[in-house]
Structure 1
Amino acid sequence: MKPPIVRSLLETDLYKFTMWQALLHGHPNSYTEYEFVCRNTPAFPLTELLPEIERELDHLCSMSFTDQELSYLRSLRYMKSDFVDFLTVFRFQRKFIEARAEGERLMIHASGPQVHVMGFEIYVLYIVNELYFRRFDQEAALAEGRARLGAKIARLRKFGRDEPARWYPFEFSDFGTRRRFSSAWHDEVVQRLAREVPEYFRGTSNVYQAMQFGLIPIGTMAHEYMQSFQAFGVRLRDFQKASLEAWVQEYRGDLGIALTDVVGMDAFLDDFDLYFAKLFDGLRHDSGDPVVWGEKALAHYAALRIDARTKRLVFSDGLNFEIALQLYRHFADRIMTGFGIGTHLTNDMGLPTLNIVMKLVCCNGQSVAKLSDSPGKTVSRDETFLAYLRQVFHHPA
């Protein structure tokens, strides 16, 4: 039998820890539900993986953080000592997560106190992904993956040779933990990028790899953090402001990239006033046309009389290097940029990939939702609440 897929509880995205800390401090008693969804059609029913998924979840719920891992978290200046103390005794509880089949549809549902279930997401996604891709020809996939990675590195070197220097450098990070081909391949990709194109490779969202390979861990917040505030007792129209204010109070200048597409960019900018625009270092794009989004951000900074060259736009929606370089050329002389590249780095093996997510759907007994600027990325299981959210924020259907 192969070793368990989850190697360390540290092997998740940095923003899971940063959101976890903020929610533990601000809303420790919230109760939430998360649901797994596969947005595309896999090569075989994911329910075939159910016995293996059950074993992997059993293993995950037996794990705890090691002293080395806790020491690493303490070394990050924005991680607070009481939160790391909480992690010293933390274990996932198996009773809070269920995997089952509904026909050929794989259902994974986590429900319980938010500070006990919010961490399941990334582990579940890469467990399912790695089990799925074990069914394919490993040697052929790795050979193709290595060839494609070599071509990406050659493309970056050509970019460095052929294109004139711009106001700000091109920088990208690995955001590919959740949908990777395997942990071994992920390690190979990250180490090779760090070794061969260090002038462009800024770091990884994977905290375990950051510790193991001496890289910078990258990340701030995800949709679930801001969505939670839809159920935290503030007026719905004010949930974005409340979430941004809580983040500022928690991190006081660190982790200053704000996510903009929980109810769409236009509604976000309505709330992102001079106060927040000065306090946050920049914005992250995750849906909608990235050029239109970036131009809106620049116009907003200009209207507030903020020098955009002191801010950063981070792009993270389905990127490959060609798209990232096009966006860089468009914006790099006006504002700092950054690019979070996921599947294109860690699962570009010549095989059709899975489009899987595990999203927050309910908090404190109330539906929550994301109104995406991209078709197909809106998240809700409650059409009535979704319609109300659209009405409140004037978001088009």
Structure 2
Amino acid sequence: MIIESLLDTDLYKFTMMQCVLHQFPGAEVKYRFKCRTPGVDLRPYVSEINEEIDHLCELHFSDQELAYLASLRYIRRDFVEFLSLFHLKRKYIRVSPSNDYPCGIDISIKGPWLHTILFEIPVLAIVSETYFRHRVPADGFELGRRRLAEKCRMILEEPDNDNLVISDFGARRRFSRAWQEEVIEYCIEHLGRHFSGTSDVLFAREFGVVPLGTMAHEYLQACQALGPRLRDSQTFGFDMWAKEYRGDLGIALSDVYGLKPFLKDFDMYFCKLFDGARHDSGDPFRWGEAMIRHYAANKCDPKSKTLIFSDGLDIPRVLALYRRFNHRIRLGFGIGTNLMNDVGPKPLNIVIKMIEANGQPVAKISDTPEKGMCEDPTYLAYLRQVFGLDEPDTAAAEPKA
């Protein structure tokens, strides 16, 4: 089967889940699957996907897996005890053929946030691997291996590369679990200190590297419904995160409402409280310049802060960003699809996003419009108005590289 461990997911699912347990234990949510790649028909694979999800819902955490999670300094004992009783419940997820979506299938997840949050990454990995195992021979990794070797060579031969580190953020759209394992092993062997770790907790444990991640879009989206006032939902989310982790896991996600509202909300208090920020949509050069100016304007030395870039990166883009920002601010690069699904065929651009929390619509408004997601256009228009997104964006203007 594709998923054989509940650790085979991104770290930020656990960090958010712990926050949900302590701060929002009664929240109810709904997620929807979306395939952004045109011309893809997933209907032939519905039965296989359902079989894989049946197996996923039979998995439990082993004592060894729980001990590993407990060894992470920010994971609390009561959360580990909760996980010792946890399994994903089949009644909360439905996969069926549908003509309502271009890809031909509907995947919807609905139930308590605490009991549905771990579906996203393994379900996306299941869809991706199921699709590609019908299109590429099992031993079809030769092109991927040549490309991987070239990527590592480019990193190692980059001048002044002392601060250049990449990490794996690719579990959700990987070609296969076997390929992800091979890529991580190769990067550890050939890149050494230039490979900082992986977001996949299973492989972090297996290879003894650092598991990476803090928060994802769903966390700040849910705060639209769970917070006291819509306009304050982003600051509410950051406050609750700080309450949960007390200065640990301090990388803030910057693109749930776009750069302009983020800079407005990420004031001097949050600039000093959080270690840095993560970019996941819009022009990364413009974003990086805006963040450096913003830190300086809020009495923070940019060289003491970290920018994590994670939006559709490949190695040439990583190197261009590194050359622009090295020695000006600390840097990290999370590479997803280009690292874990670059073996020949075009990867699937698939996501599962939260669309509802406590019966209210929620939305992501992206600086990359096609990455936004909301099923209620009236709510989306209201949200844009509340965050002033119909106004000209002059706060962070910066020429493109």
- TM-score, structure 2 length as denominator? 0.95
Q: Aligned ranges for residues 221-260 of structure 1 at < 5 Å? A: 221-260=215-254
Q: Counterparts of 1:269 and 1:176 in 2: how far apart (Å)?
A: 28
Residue 353 of structure 1 aligns to a residue whose secondary structure is: coil
1:78 maps to 74
Does residue 39 of structure 1 match 2:40?
A: no
The one-letter amino acid of 1:328's match is Y
The one-letter amino acid of 2:88's match is F
Q: Counterparts of 1:349 and 1:128 in 2: how far apart (Å)?
A: 17
Q: Counterparts of 1:300 and 1:374 in 2: how far apart (Å)?
A: 21
Q: Counterparts of 2:297 and 2:38 in 1: how far apart (Å)?
A: 44
1:282 maps to 276
User: Which of the numbers 195, 205, 211 marks the counterpart of 2:199?
Assistant: 205
2:25 maps to 28
Deviation, structure 1 residue 171: 1.1
CA gap of 1:356–1:192, structure 2 versus 1, over 3 A, is same
Which is worse superposed, 140-149 or 315-324? 140-149
Q: Counterparts of 1:137 and 1:180 in 2: how far apart (Å)?
A: 13
Deviation, structure 1 residue 141: 3.2
Superposition CA RMSD, Å: 1.2
Which is worse superposed, 297-306 or 336-345? 297-306
Identity of aligned pairs, percent? 51
CA contact (8 A) 2:34 2:352 kept: yes
Does residue 129 of structure 1 match 2:128?
A: yes
The unaligned stretches of length 5 or more in structure 2 are 392-401
Deviation, structure 1 residue 8: 0.3
Deviation, structure 1 residue 230: 0.2
1:10 maps to 7
Runs of 4+ in 1 over 3 A off after TM superposition: none
Deviation, structure 1 residue 42: 4.6
Cα deviation digits, residues 139-194 of structure 1 (max 9, x gap):
563111111111111212221xxx136xx601111000000011011100000101
CA contact (8 A) 1:308 1:335 kept: yes
Does residue 370 of structure 1 match 2:340?
A: no
Does residue 61 of structure 1 match 2:78?
A: no
Q: Counterparts of 2:6 and 2:294 in 1: how far apart (Å)?
A: 40
Residue 323 of structure 1 aligns to a residue whose secondary structure is: helix
CA contact (8 A) 1:145 1:349 kept: yes
Deviation, structure 1 residue 47: 1.1
Residue 197 of structure 1 aligns to a residue whose secondary structure is: helix
User: Which of the numbers 89, 93, 96 marks the counterpart of 2:92?
Assistant: 96
Paired positions, count: 388
2:156 maps to 157
The one-letter amino acid of 2:137's match is Q
The one-letter amino acid of 2:261's match is A
CA contact (8 A) 2:227 2:236 kept: no
CA contact (8 A) 1:110 1:117 kept: yes
The one-letter amino acid of 1:88's match is S
Cα deviation digits, residues 214-269 of structure 1 (max 9, x gap):
01000000000011110014110100111000001111111000000111111011
CA contact (8 A) 1:42 1:354 kept: no
Q: Counterparts of 2:265 and 2:136 in 1: how far apart (Å)?
A: 50
The one-letter amino acid of 1:209's match is F
CA contact (8 A) 1:141 1:351 kept: no
User: Which of the numbers 206, 209, 212 marks the counterpart of 1:215?
Assistant: 209
- TM-score, structure 1 length as denominator? 0.96
Q: Counterparts of 1:154 and 1:298 in 2: how far apart (Å)?
A: 30
The one-letter amino acid of 2:33's match is F
User: Which of the numbers 268, 286, 292 marks the counterpart of 2:262?
Assistant: 268
Q: Counterparts of 1:385 and 1:147 in 2: how far apart (Å)?
A: 47
The one-letter amino acid of 2:389's match is H
Q: Counterparts of 1:140 and 1:213 in 2: how far apart (Å)?
A: 23
Deviation, structure 1 residue 41: 2.2
Q: Counterparts of 1:14 and 1:77 in 2: how far apart (Å)?
A: 13
Deviation, structure 1 residue 34: 0.4
CA contact (8 A) 2:247 2:274 kept: yes
User: Which of the numbers 374, 387, 392 marks the counterpart of 2:386?
Assistant: 392
The one-letter amino acid of 2:21's match is L
Q: Counterparts of 2:197 and 2:33 in 1: how far apart (Å)?
A: 28
